[in-house]
C-alpha cells in the first residue's frame, strides 16, 4: 500500500560526502587523490569490454584521461565518487549519482566502472550498498534507479542480483556512440529497501566469506 504523501516536501540533494564501509570507501572524486589510480585501472586488460556501454571511451593516454577527470570533477549531476578498496587504499573504480530529482525523491546510480581488481567482489557490492543507504536512509529518497543498455546483459544481471526490480524497456531511448540504445529500467523503492538492506548486511558480514574472500552464500539466497 502506498503511503500518504500529503506532507511530502522533497529531499536534499546529495553532497560531496565520504561514505565508509567495511571493505569499500566512496570518496568524492578529485584529480589529486584519484587520477593516477583510476587511469591505471581504466587501462587494465579487458578495458574495451568494460567501456563498451559507457558514455566515455577507454582513455588513450594520460592527457585524454585528465580531460575526462576535469569534466567529471566539476559536475554536480552526475556527482562522481571514487571507489576505494580499503584493503589496498587504491581507487579501483568510479560511480555516480545522477538524474537527481529532490522534488520527487528520485535518484539513479550510473557511470559505473568497477575495475578488474574489485569487479564481482564484496568491494563492488558494498559500493552499491553505500549509495543505496545514503539515498534512502540519510537523504530520504523514495526511488533508486539503475538503467542500462538493453544489450548489456551483465549489467541487467547485476541489477537483479542487487535487488532492483525490472520495469521495462524504453525503445530508441538514446543514441550513444553512434548507435541506438534501448534502455532497460530497474528500480528499488523505499518500501523495498528495509528487506534488501538486511540481506546486504547479512551478505557483507565477515562470516559470509572464506579466507580468500569468496562468498559462502549468495546475496539472492539471503533475501527474505
E strands, the chain, are 19-20, 24-28, 79-85, 90-101, 106-114, 143-149, 165-176, 179-189
- On the question of pLDDT at 186 being above 60, the answer is yes
Report the distance separating Cα 196 and Cα 223, nearest Å.
7
Convert the pLDDT of each residue in 133-162 to its tens digit: 999 999 999 999 999 999 999 999 999 999
| Predicted local confidence at residue 108, as pLDDT | 98
CB count within 10 Å of CB 214 equals: 10
Yes or no: say if 98 and 80 are a contact pair by the CB < 8 Å rule.
Answer: no
| Predicted local confidence at residue 223, as pLDDT | 87
Q: Which CATH architecture has domain 19-211?
A: 3-Layer(aba) Sandwich (3.40)
Convert the pLDDT of each residue in 16-62 to its tens digit: 999 999 999 999 999 999 999 999 999 999 999 999 999 999 999 99
Task: Find, among 181, 182, 178, 162, the residue nearest to 112 by Cα.
Answer: 162
For 16, residues 6+ apart whose C-beta sits below 8 A from its C-beta are 28, 79
161's enclosing H/E stretch is helix 153-161
* More confident call, 5 vs 170: 170
pTM metric for this prediction: 0.96
Convert the pLDDT of each residue in 78-127 to its tens digit: 999 999 999 999 999 999 999 999 999 999 999 999 999 999 999 999 99
For 61, residues 6+ apart whose C-beta sits below 8 A from its C-beta are none
Convert the pLDDT of each residue in 51-74 to its tens digit: 999 999 999 999 999 999 999 999
CB count within 10 Å of CB 202 equals: 16
Confidence at 6, pLDDT banded by 50, 70, 90: confident
Domain coordinates in residue numbering, the chain: 19-211
Yes or no: say if 38 and 27 are a contact pair by the CB < 8 Å rule.
Answer: no
Amino acid at each position: 500500500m502506498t503511503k500518504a504523501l500529503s506532507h511530502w516536501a522533497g529531499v536534499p540533494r546529495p553532497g560531496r560526502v565520504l561514505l565508509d564501509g567495511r571493505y569499500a570507501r566512496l570518496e568524492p572524486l578529485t584529480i589529486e587523490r584519484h587520477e593516477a589510480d583510476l587511469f591505471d585501472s581504466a587501462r587494465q586488460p579487458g578495458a574495451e569490454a568494460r567501456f563498451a556501454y559507457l558514455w566515455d571511451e577507454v582513455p588513450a593516454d594520460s592527457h585524454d584521461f585528465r580531460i575526462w577527470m576535469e569534466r567529471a570533477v566539476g559536475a554536480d549531476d552526475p556527482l562522481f565518487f571514487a571507489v576505494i578498496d580499503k584493503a589496498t587504499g587504491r581507487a579501483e573504480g568510479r560511480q555516480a549519482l545522477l538524474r537527481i530529482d529532490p522534488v520527487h525523491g528520485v535518484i539513479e546510480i550510473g557511470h559505473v566502472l568497477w575495475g578488474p581488481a574489485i569487479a564481482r567482489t564484496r568491494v563492488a557490492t558494498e559500493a552499491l550498498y553505500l549509495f543505496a543507504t545514503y539515498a534512502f536512509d540519510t537523504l530520504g529518497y523514495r526511488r533508486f534507479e539503475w538503467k542500462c543498455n538493453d544489450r548489456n546483459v551483465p549489467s541487467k544481471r547485476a541489477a537483479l542480483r542487487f535487488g532492483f526490480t525490472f520495469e521495462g524497456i524504453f525503445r530508441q531511448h538514446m543514441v550513444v556512440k553512434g548507435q541506438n540504445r534501448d534502455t532497460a529500467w530497474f528500480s528499488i523503492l523505499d518500501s523495498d529497501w528495509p528487506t534488501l538492506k538486511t540481506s546486504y548486511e547479512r551478505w557483507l558480514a565477515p562470516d559470509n566469506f572464506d579466507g580468500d574472500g569468496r562468498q559462502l552464500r549468495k546475496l539472492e539466497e539471503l533475501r527474505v
